A and B are shown apart, each in its own frame.
Chain A
Amino acid sequence: MKITFDWLKDHLKTNLKEKDLLEQLTNIGLEVESVETLSSDNQLFKVAKIIKTEKHPNADRLKVCEVNVGEKELKKVVCGATNASEGLITIYAPPGAIIPKTNTKLEIAKIRGVTSYGMLCSESELNLSDESDGITELSKKYEKNIGKSYFSKSKSNLIDLSITPNRPDCLGVKGIARDLAASGFGRLIISKEKKIKLKTKQTLKVKINKEKGQGCSAFGSCLIKNVKNTESPQWLKDKLISVGQKPISAIVDITNYVMLDINRPLHAYDADKIEKGIIVRNSKSGEKFTALDNKIYKLEKGMCVISDNKGVLGLGGIIGGTRSGTEFDTKNILLESAYFEPRSIRNTAKKLNLDTDAKFRFERGIDPLSIETGLKKAASLIQEICGGEVSKIDIQKIESYKTKIINFDVNSFENIVGFKISEKQIQRILTDLGFIIKKEKNSLKLIVPSWRPDISQQIDIIEELVRISGYDKIKTIDPIKDRSKSTLTQTQRLFHFLQRAIASKGYLETITWSFTDQSYNDHFREAGKEIKIVNPISSELGVLRNSIFSNLIMYMSKNLDRGFKDLSIFEIGPVFTGSNPGEQKTVVCGLSAGKKSRLSWIDKERNIDLFDAKRDVVQTLSEAGYNSDHFFIDSKTPNYYHPGKSGRIFLDHSKDKVAAYFGEIHPNILKKIDIKTENLIGFEIFLENLKLSRKTLKDQKLKFSVSDFQKSERDFAFVVNKDVEAQELISVISNVNPNLISNIKVFDVYEGENIPDNQKSIAISITIQSSEKTLNDKDLEKINNSIIEAVENKTGAKIRS
């Protein structure tokens, strides 16, 4: 909402300064978004006429114009607009002027070799409208103003307010003035309605169809005959220009003025173009009409239309049609002032993707009792400026406005806000805001002003009172440092633990979007459901991710393109399994590329491999409190991993839920994504699959006991079939005698010479220690034999001699 202090003063008597105004507006909840200084500079913009145009010698699309700016000599201006033609009256900005839209200062410049003295401006460059196609076209009437400033001398800056959606009344200058006055910033001026003679009858019949979902509950109108539509007088033009509107014609300008002044949207029809009368009805499916934006709209069933015998004239409260629009030669007008239901306006506008000033106001709620005031205000101005006779006002209604009444408990204010104001003060504020108050025994009976659709209960009154009293009066009550419940749940703690545990292993934490590119997602989706976003920001971000890999691999690739070779990144966050709330899992996903070590004076080169990832995962889980001795690992993994070089981890042999996957990313995916690196290794840890212990870690720790008896290390080499897994051997060995076998380490795996083709040799070092005594040779011999026997029997292995 754009206003000026000058306009406000039409409704507000105050001696205070603009600086105070800006502060006060913000203090009462009418946030000042920006203040544009128009005053000093806008005088530079002059009405000018193009006398001659020539094609630019060095550029096809540019013209060199000779422009009369009211000085002796014509100015030479280079211009790219297609509508720059000889005889056009437009707006000229000389060097030194600051273009409002871009805030840049014009300078004399050579454009493709031709010196341009200033610029011819489009409406958008002057912030007059969004029209940026071509330069401003002024009517012939401006001929006499050539050389004069286009903008009138405005003392007032343009103040742009951000009006919250609950305050439609402040979409009119008067509403803002009322709020200011209530807050003590001046006094509201009650302007008397101008008396106009309403002699004739409104002869154009208006009917609101009573049908289901009728979006119009009241339609007020009057006929004004024999008008002479003209240009607006200077005061009106100045007023509109001062808030960034472009004057068009007196009738349009007047309806705009009334709308901006008291938030009462009106619509003027050329009465002679209406066939027989107005019918307000629901649209039929497929009905078409051409709106004032020159677009043809195809309507769905049930939209609120203003129509006549021939068809749709306009969409009520949203946009008028070209067929009945007013022109300079319009003689008789029908002026409409109606009430349209916010819900109906919103539905229609949404379906047609239409956004207009009227729609913005009606969907927030127009004062239902402003129908007559608005008509009278506009009609008297039209009569004053354009002449004509105004008919009596006709108001058709299918529903009457019901006054809202609230019983307000005065004590509720302090209860919610924490400070007190006197009842006298309460009454004064509410009266100033337009409430009618009746004092009752324990409460105030409040009649809510018709322009406040946002007020319906006690809390709304409290808001009004605290807003006007000032939020600075709210006390600061320091919080008490007391905690009765733990801050994080066990799962949340685990989340944070895993996050930092992985980062501490050299991974950079990333946060990527929860949506991703469908083609990337498909690589990692497996049988998962594809979850499409109906209105994605772009087609590359069209689905919710089924795996974090899709994003990580994309960004990994970008980083590799930046020239980084060895990189580990991870993310902890959601992946989605369905489109219902809760169908998501928390995953820690890591990805490493390149080499673990590059050739250096001290280290050998080595590609990153799956055992690096496995170490990171196992170590992390172990640090998180899971005993890695109990882990069970096999090689069944999703098909985005390399089938032979990936594994999954269970926390124990019950194999309940997969705790994690690790391994090389499938070479086919690397090829398709065209990612260039020595190796690409990933892992996924599934947070929800990690069983939480009921005992705390401190309760899980048993009594501390260690053995100081001598330990012995024995090495064994077993020859087994290739498909026998190391895990199996270890499991067999550790079960031989858990009391004596304290550590098992695989120190070599060998295939090749001296070993049969489909077999391998696994060399294992076993630490044997008793907690009761030092073992003698005989004891050791016994356990050695048991180990060999168990391994040979259970795995088909042969001890290598």
Chain B
Amino acid sequence: MSDLKKIKDEFISKLKGKLDLAELNQIKSDLFGKNGLVSSQFKKIGTIDASERKKFASDLNIIKDELQDLINLKINEIEKANINEKLEKEKIDVTLPERSFVKGKIHPVSQTIDEISSIFSEIGFSVEEGPDVENEYNNFTALNTPDNHPARDMHDTFYLDEKKERLLRTHTSPVQIRTMLKDKPPFKIIAPGRTYRSDSDQTHSPMFHQVEGLHIDKNINMGHLKGCLNYFIKEFFEVKKIKMRFRPSHFPFTEPSAEVDIGYEIKDGKIIIGEGDQWLEILGCGMVHPNVLKNVKVDPTKFQGYAFGIGIDRLAMLKYGINDLRAFFDCDYRWLNHFGFDPLDVPTNYRGLSR
């Protein structure tokens, strides 16, 4: 029996026994260390007869590979076993609660404003703003509501001085005036914001939100108004079809004026928008009165267009099933948490307005 075979047999039998990592490393060193048995055999190659050298070298390499593989296999087995043993000990109760987290929320009115802006953005409206404190002229007179006009009674106004010159705007319509005074036509804007009336009961809050719309250009007529609102309502309520009714009404700053009703029905205690035979008033609108255009130095023989005003809080209530207007401003943690929106839910056209 050659030396090689002897080494091989001896170590294979050794490796069959139960060995720990240290013992395996010892074997490894015995064989492949500097003066290990296999290493020594390699050193011998040069001394062997040329005729046998090739076979010897080949045999030696085979044995080397065989032993090495076996050792590596053994080492892997042990390491794996060790890890498994460790893992067994490291098992933890993952049902224990995670570290606490808090969720912030966006107020439903803010979310609704973003939804509205997103819808009108699609058809080319940009967002304008105006101050909460207004003068009497912008809020009433410029809007064709002179001080002896009974329509002023419908706006229970908060005043900031005895002369009634400064007030909290009762609607977002003064933004129309500011916008038109500032720029030249055409105008295509929406103006969401806070509005105030000294009215406070179950369905009225002294502060609420409106969005004003204004589109002035050449040849804009009531058909455009109807089309714009029809589009908006459909998009806002995310329905394919909407039952909508234009009803003649009166606002001093628009003529002809209309109130817009949408169809609804109550199904299983929930309001379904867009169908049914009940009507719900949701906004006021009309063609901007020539007197208003004259007041802002826009020539009514050249330019015309429409304006509308929508109650934002009411839209939010309808869309999200909120019953009580007063709760919007009560800051009850539970309410905000329930009706609020995740800040990552930015209403966009491509992702959809709401989830």
A760 within 8 A of B: no
Is the Cβ of A459 less than 8 Å from the Cβ of B223? no
Cβ of A346 and Cβ of B247 under 8 Å apart? no
Contact B196 A514 (CB under 8 A): yes
The answer to the question of B161 belonging to the interface, with a C-beta cut-off of 8 Å to chain A, is yes
Minimum Cβ distance to chain B for residue A377 (Å)? 26
Does B268 interact with chain A (Cβ within 8 Å)?
no
Q: Are A486 and B159 CB-contacts (below 8 A) given A165-B250, A600-B97, A601-B97?
A: no
A511-B328, A512-B329 given; A492·B127 CB < 8 A? yes
Q: Which residues of B contact A492 (CB under 8 A)?
A: 127, 129
* A511-B109 contact in complex given A472-B246, A504-B104, C-beta closer than 8 Å: yes
> For window 476-516 of chain A, which residues contact chain B by CB distance below 8 Å?
476-489, 492, 496, 499-515
Cβ of A344 to closest chain B Cβ, rounded Å: 9
Q: Does A444 contact B (CB under 8 A)?
A: no
- Contact status A471-B250, CB under 8 Å: no
Report if A343-B148 is in contact (Cβ < 8 Å); known contacts: A471-B246, A513-B329, A567-B333.
yes
Interface size on A, residues (CB 8 A): 99
* Docked-complex contact B131 and A581, CB < 8 angstroms: yes
Query: Which B residue's beta carbon lies closest to that of A488?
Result: B127
Instruction: Please tell me which one of the listed residues B132, B158, B331 contacts residue A559 in the complex, with CB atoms under 8 A apart.
Output: B331
- Please, which residues of chain A bring their CB within 8 A of the CB of B164? 534
B134 close to chain A: CB less than 8 A:
yes
Mask: chain B, 328-340; 1 = CB below 8 Å from A; 0 = not: 1111111011001
Q: Is the CB of B126 within 8 A of A486?
A: yes
Q: A133-173 vs B: 1/0 string, CB under 8 Å?
A: 00000000000000000000000000000001111000000
The smallest beta-carbon distance between B169 and chain A, in angstroms, is: 9
**Cα–Cα distance between A310 and B222 once the two chains are bound (Å):** 59
Contact A31 B131 (CB under 8 A): no
Among the stretches A7-15, A415-423, A790-798, the one at the interface with B is: A415-423
In the complex the two chains form, is B158's CB within 8 Å of A597's CB? no
**Judging by beta carbons under 8 Å apart, are A509 and B336 in contact?**
yes
Q: Beta-carbon contacts of A73-106 to B below 8 Å, as 1s and 0s?
A: 0000000000000000000000000000000000
Bound Cα distance from A580 to B135, whole angstroms: 8
CA–CA, A346 and B134, complex, Å: 23
Contact at B121–A478, with CB atoms within 8 Å? no
Main secondary structure of the interface of B (DSSP, over half): mixed
| B304 part of interface (Cβ distance < 8 Å) | yes
- A581 & B134 in contact (Cβ 8 Å cutoff): yes
Known pairs A485-B126, A569-B331, A601-B97; A508 contacts B161 (CB<8 A): no
Are B124 and A484 within 8 A (Cβ)? yes
Let me know if A502 and B104 touch, CB within 8 A: yes
B162: which A residues are within 8 A, CB to CB?
534
A504 proximity list for chain B (CB < 8 A): 104, 343-344
Given the contacts A27-B247, A475-B226, A504-B104, A510 and B336 also touching, CB distance less than 8 Å: yes
Which of chain B's residues have a CB closer than 8 A to the CB of A537?
198, 200, 206
In this assembly, does A533 line the interface, its C-beta being within 8 Å of a C-beta of chain B? Answer: yes
Indicate whether A363 reaches chain B with its CB closer than 8 angstroms.
Answer: yes
**Within the assembled complex, what's the spacing in Å between the Cα atoms of A567 and B334?**
11
Chain A residues in the interface with B (C-beta under 8 A): 26-29, 31, 164-167, 342-343, 346-347, 363-364, 415-419, 457, 459-460, 462-463, 466-467, 471-472, 474-489, 492, 496, 499-515, 531-537, 541, 544, 551-552, 555, 558-559, 562, 564, 566-569, 573-574, 576, 579-584, 597-598, 600-603
**8 cross-chain CB contacts under 8 A:** A31-B249, A467-B256, A472-B246, A479-B124, A482-B124, A485-B126, A544-B160, A600-B100
